[in-house]
Structure 1
């Protein structure tokens, strides 16, 4: 009876039920995995020791990425036989590479060079074997279609940029997980509406895994961090979603987002990309040091300095990023160059606004 049911079941006929099941499965698996990870981490003393730039004072496990990875792999393995097996298997391959690199970095130390090479290899797997790449600039600065090898090189650059930009915002409780959750929700809706069920399934599975992770990440007694393992695999998936969305939109002239996809992706990833550009500028031109030398000059560190709690910082950043996304979706009728120009202006203004408000409140009280 089960064989007959499986032979006659088509996820495309019931996509909502299918995606709901993927979310529930991912959530349950991750939620049941984290207590075991916490127990092993504490028993084996696999804890993060607070240092001068840490935003926490207690020793905390940093192996949350294991639960996220395990949840994603189980969901993709179960659904693989009924969806686009090639894409799912290649995504799993890339995730596995980054999982072991991140795990080694969380447990011991891994050089930036080895992480960079691993990220390149994982990205190349998907770019070459699925031909999912950014075809051109969609007339940004009057540049349209890119030559094949330039397209591959630029797509690789975007992968590396997004993975590492996402890794850099993992500095406040709930921030990285909540930002990724918001972006994944938007992508899941876009993929669902476009009929890309395989991509929507991966996005929904990530939503389930992140929802379970945030329950522990916000906890006081059972706190766990994402670690490099989690930030690399989540950043990799966000990059994959971004490039897949842009690629699908560019090759489909009938798509509502045919010319607007780069601006929408920039809006969704505005916070990690803005914070990365800002922190690199400060380190290189103001502090005159290596851009890769860690410090506490990130935007989320500024929020904490201004008196915001971890939860307030996370809610403020996510709310502003959501507002930026909503505005971007309401500017689809504009020229792409105009969309991006306005996005940079109102995005920066919205993130600067809380500091102005906080400063005025302090003055009024003083």
Structure 2
């Protein structure tokens, strides 16, 4: 009962703090002319305020202050430095673009604080693919790589209005439920706080009058929190899984299903870029949400809603299957779904490329025809003038 009261107060407080301060951020950004300038890849056409993630940062810091003491291993003290590092880097990247390498180094430092806390240590995969004990050095490698992947995957899906917020809300609702059932109330309250901020932000992100983007400041912070929750989920002790509706050995697959949208989109985009001999972090419009908008003609809201619903349904399906199915069968199913989705979206990507090529070819043909017609008209006019001149003579 005490948890429920704290959760309600924390949710309302985080929501109001984000909702009431974002307009102030918008006013400052507009006054200082720090708006995001659209380019050929942008899904928006006008200069739009960014830096919405500033509200996420101080809301989380306040929340961590009020829920301190609930963390058995003083996790809050380890989370705040990592949050601060990513906040500073994200803020700088929103104001003055920095290189992917610099961001990656900052992420490594932020992640190091989390990995050094014993609460997040993954000592076993509990029989997943017959893997049990994990050496500490291997945990550092796996945990660090996993957190880097999640942070950057979430950062990459922030490409259209509402998508990052909707996907984040779905993921955080699931983690809130998991940590509530396992009585890890500290992490449940962090999930609730982050969710409240995203819900408050979503209204502004979808607004046509008071629009704002979360920017790298926001996406790095949200991705960091989600990566922490994922690491903690995989580090849960075996006895707590008795209250969860899936088998202990299926936990890694459940984590992948929760993060299926950012992970699939990142893997797909990286594969396309590498196939085209481009750097993995080079910008383009090959993301899944771009396909839905450019090829299917969906609006930002429709694309975000469809992707969010897919994420939720995918997780529910894997939780149901994970309650009885062995992990090998679930791995086969997961691979099959990913291959199917990859085929569909690669096909659409090919069709979009072909369509663009046809449009460009048609434009070239039209230009050539226009030039030929112009020359013919010039010749006809000249011939007519010559005939008129001879007639006068």
TM-score (norm 2): 0.83
SS of structure 2 residue aligned to 1:219? coil
Query: Structure 2 vs 1, CA of residues 251 and 240 (structure 1 numbering), >3 Å: closer, same or farther?
Result: farther
2:285 to 290, 296, 315: 296
Aligned to 1:181: 169
Aligned to 1:270: 260
Contact kept, 8 Å, 1:249 with 1:259, in 2: the verdict is no
Distance 1:60 1:239 in 2: 28
Distance 2:346 2:21 in 1: 39
* Deviation (angstroms), 1:81: 4.5
Q: Does residue 7 of structure 2 align to residue 16 of structure 1?
A: no
Within a 5 Å distance, the mapping from 1:130-145 to structure 2 comes to: 130-145=118-133
1:334 to 301, 322, 325: 325
Aligned to 1:346: 337
The one-character-per-residue Cα deviations of 1:155-197 (angstroms, maximum 9, x if unpaired) are 0000000000111100010001110110000000110111101
Distance 1:64 1:134 in 2: 33
Within a 5 Å distance, the mapping from 1:103-182 to structure 2 comes to: 103-182=91-170
Within a 5 Å distance, the mapping from 1:84-99 to structure 2 comes to: 84=72, 86-99=74-87
Q: Does residue 33 of structure 2 align to residue 42 of structure 1?
A: no
Aligned to 1:282: 272
Q: Aligned Cα RMSD in Å?
A: 2.2
Within a 5 Å distance, the mapping from 1:215-254 to structure 2 comes to: 215-249=203-237, 254=242
* Deviation (angstroms), 1:82: 5.3
Contact kept, 8 Å, 2:265 with 2:288, in 1: the verdict is yes
Q: Does residue 324 of structure 2 align to residue 319 of structure 1?
A: no
1:78 to 63, 66, 70: 66
Distance 2:31 2:10 in 1: 32
* Deviation (angstroms), 1:20: 1.3
Query: Please, which moves more after superposition, 107-116 or 236-245?
Result: 107-116
2:300 to 277, 302, 310: 310
Unaligned runs of at least 5 residues, structure 1:
1-12, 360-366
SS of structure 1 residue aligned to 2:285? coil
SS of structure 1 residue aligned to 2:249? coil
* Deviation (angstroms), 1:78: 2.0
* Deviation (angstroms), 1:323: 0.7
* Deviation (angstroms), 1:148: 1.0
Within a 5 Å distance, the mapping from 1:196-215 to structure 2 comes to: 196-215=184-203
